[in-house]
């Protein structure tokens, strides 16, 4: 792959601009010849026509001056040719540009010669204008020789000037891009061992700063994700140690006594499986949060019924009752998988940590807010712990047999749907999910 150097591109661009500037200078230098011819003839014409009036005898005008033949054409104030010299087959056309015009320091119009004969206007008393034209062969040769000499001198000095210009521009580019090279070297040294290092923005060019700032923000997100993964691995190892140790002790006891306590072993295996499933779910949600999962309209009524139906066997196994009050035609904008994980973990959490029957109620308020309540007959969580239990691996009771991940998974999944989850101040343990009112929520979904 060809390397594209910004310094080389800018250097070549500056070099091209310098050459174009030099070419423009040459063009203007060439055009200066006609300007000098015109200015010289203006001074000569004023000297020739000194004291001349509109009614003077024009035949007294000289037909040569300073080695060049002269031609004359007289125009009245209306621009009509009145007379022309005998050495002209026809009148020369009116030309603009008096001495006063030529003496202006700032003017846009330039005076160019028209072949070997050039002409200038001389205003006379009475309102007429005399066009003085000249075959200025001698002046043209002298001006050409002068300009060619100056051009030759410039061309001789051009290589040295270009070399100095190129060196100056190259040095300037290296000096300008030195902070970029330093930032690149620093960025190359960023690794998991140095997660806090960032690209310094202070000395970078203004055009490069947005790129460096975006890179720093990406590094911040990666650092946060790395810290989260490290914490997850550490917490997972800590949580897995106890059930694995208990299971190992039961297997050793089975080996020494020759009989197995299968109900206890199966209970430990169920707890391990649930913990592993929750860890996998948490890892998937972390990844989904970093990759911005696609969302769409989800039928919350249907999804809740499907989750309840899948969990009925677990409730029957523990002789617990699961009640449902689901309002029809309720839809939300969310990721279906994330929403399924959240609701399932809430109901499983009520099964594992709650008491008595569990009820699930889904309804919509007149303001189109949507509420999903999961309630069991347990005492609930103390007020000072209601936020703590939503943190990973935090248990409501230290002697609980859960992993402390269910509510964390639920809150993380619901955040992507813009929903809010909290415990309510009720006689029993009630967790409520609130979905904000949106235009999609107000539109009924006939398919439930």
- What pLDDT digit, counting tens, does each position of 258-274 carry? 777 777 777 777 767 76
pLDDT of residue 136: 85
Q: Is the pLDDT higher at 200 or at 6?
A: 200
Average pLDDT of the residues in 152-180 = 79
Q: What is the pLDDT of residue 295?
A: 63
Instruction: Report the C-alpha gap between 205 and 208 in whole angstroms.
Output: 5
Q: How does pLDDT run across 276-333, given as a tens digit for each residue?
A: 776 676 666 665 554 444 467 889 999 999 999 988 988 888 899 999 999 998 988 8
Q: Kindly state the tokens that stand for 6.
A: 């910004």
> For the ranges 143-152, 238-247, 395-404, which has the lowest average pLDDT?
395-404
Own/partner long-range contacts of 274-279 (Cβ < 8 Å, ≥24 apart) = 274/348, 274/403, 275/239, 275/240, 275/243, 275/403, 275/405, 278/345, 278/403, 278/405, 278/406, 278/409, 279/232, 279/236, 279/405
Q: Which residue has the tokens 């040719």?
A: 81
Model confidence band, residue 97 (pLDDT cutoffs 50, 70, 90): low
Q: How many CB atoms lie within 10 A of CB 35?
A: 16
Average pLDDT over residues 54-63: 88
- pLDDT for 116-142, tens place per residue? 888 888 888 888 889 898 888 888 888
Provide the strand spans (E) within 7-66: 64-65
Does residue 21 surpass a pLDDT of 50? yes
β-strand pairing of 358-364 with 117-123: unpaired
* pLDDT greater than 60 at residue 15: yes
**CA dihedral for 157, 159, 162, 168, sign (positive or negative):** negative
pLDDT at 445: 44
The whole-number pLDDT of residue 66 equals 86
**Rounded to an integer, what distance in angstroms lies between the CA atom of residue 374 and that of residue 346?**
7
Checking if the pLDDT of 67 tops 70, the result is yes
Residues 6+ apart with CB under 8 A from 390: 407, 408, 410, 411, 421
- Measured CA distances, 149 to 39, 139, 162 (Å): 21, 15, 20
CA distance 195 to 200: 14
pLDDT mean over 398-408 = 55
More confident residue, 355 or 407: 355
Work out the average pLDDT over 72-93.
88
Say which range, 119-123, 222-226, 383-387, has the weakest mean pLDDT.
383-387
- Residue 362: what pLDDT? 93
Summary mean pLDDT of the chain? 77
The structure tokens 């063009």 sit at 27
Does residue 61 or residue 32 have the better pLDDT?
61
Whether pLDDT at 6 is above 80:
no
Quick one: pLDDT at residue 426? 80
Q: Find the mean pLDDT for residues 211-225.
A: 82
Those residues whose C-beta lies under 8 Å from the C-beta of residue 151, and which sit 6 or more positions away, are: 26, 29
What is the pLDDT, as a whole number, of residue 269?
Answer: 77
Q: Does residue 103 surpass a pLDDT of 60? A: no
Give the Cβ contact number of residue 431 at 10 Å.
24
Handedness of CA 325, 327, 331, 333 (dihedral sign): negative
Pairing of strands 117-123, 81-84: unpaired
Q: 273 vs 369, which has greater pLDDT?
A: 369
Looking at residue 179, its pLDDT comes to 80
């Amino acid at each position: 792959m060809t390397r594209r150097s910004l310094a080389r591109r800018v250097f070549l661009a500056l070099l091209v601009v310098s050459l174009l500037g030099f070419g423009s200078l040459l063009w203007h230098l060439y055009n200066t010849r006609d300007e000098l011819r015109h200015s010289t003839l203006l001074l000569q014409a004023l000297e020739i026509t000194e004291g001349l009036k509109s009614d003077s005898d024009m035949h007294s005008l000289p037909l040569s001056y300073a080695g060049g033949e002269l031609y004359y054409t007289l125009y009245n104030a209306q621009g009509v040719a009145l007379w022309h010299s005998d050495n002209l087959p026809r009148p020369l056309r009116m030309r603009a540009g008096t001495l006063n015009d030529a003496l202006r320091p700032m003017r846009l119009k330039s005076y160019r010669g028209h072949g070997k004969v050039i002409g200038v206007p001389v205003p006379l008393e009475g309102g007429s204008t005399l066009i003085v034209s000249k075959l200025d062969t001698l002046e043209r040769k002298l001006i050409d020789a002068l300009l060619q000499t100056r051009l030759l001198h410039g061309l001789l000095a051009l290589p040295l000037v270009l070399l100095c210009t190129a060196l100056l521009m190259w040095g300037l580019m290296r000096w300008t891009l030195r902070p970029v090279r330093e930032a690149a070297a620093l960025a190359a040294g960023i690794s998991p061992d140095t997660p806090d290092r960032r690209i310094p923005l202070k000395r970078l060019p203004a055009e490069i700063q947005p790129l460096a700032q975006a890179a720093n923000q990406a590094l911040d997100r990666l650092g946060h994700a790395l810290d989260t993964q490290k914490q997850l691995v550490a917490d997972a190892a800590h949580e897995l140690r106890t059930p694995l140790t208990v299971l190992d002790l039961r297997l050793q006891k089975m080996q020494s006594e020759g009989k197995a306590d299968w109900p206890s072993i199966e209970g430990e295996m169920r707890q391990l499986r649930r913990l592993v499933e929750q860890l996998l779910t948490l890892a998937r949600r972390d990844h989904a949060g970093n990759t911005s999962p696609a969302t769409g309209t989800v039928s919350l009524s249907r999804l809740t019924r499907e989750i309840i139906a899948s969990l009925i066997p677990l409730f029957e196994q523990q002789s617990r009752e699961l009640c449902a009050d689901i309002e029809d035609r309720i839809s939300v904008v969310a990721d279906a998988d994330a929403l399924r994980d959240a609701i399932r973990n809430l109901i499983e959490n009520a099964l594992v940590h709650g008491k008595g029957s569990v009820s699930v109620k889904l309804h919509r308020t007149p303001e189109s807010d949507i509420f999903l309540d999961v309630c069991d007959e347990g005492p609930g969580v103390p007020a000072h712990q209601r936020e703590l239990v939503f943190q990973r691996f935090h248990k409501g009771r230290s002697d609980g047999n859960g992993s402390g991940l269910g509510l964390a998974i639920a809150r993380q999944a619901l955040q992507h749907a813009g929903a809010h989850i909290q415990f309510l101040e009720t006689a029993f343990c009630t967790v409520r999910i609130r979905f904000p009112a949106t235009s999609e929520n107000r539109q009924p979904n006939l398919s439930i």
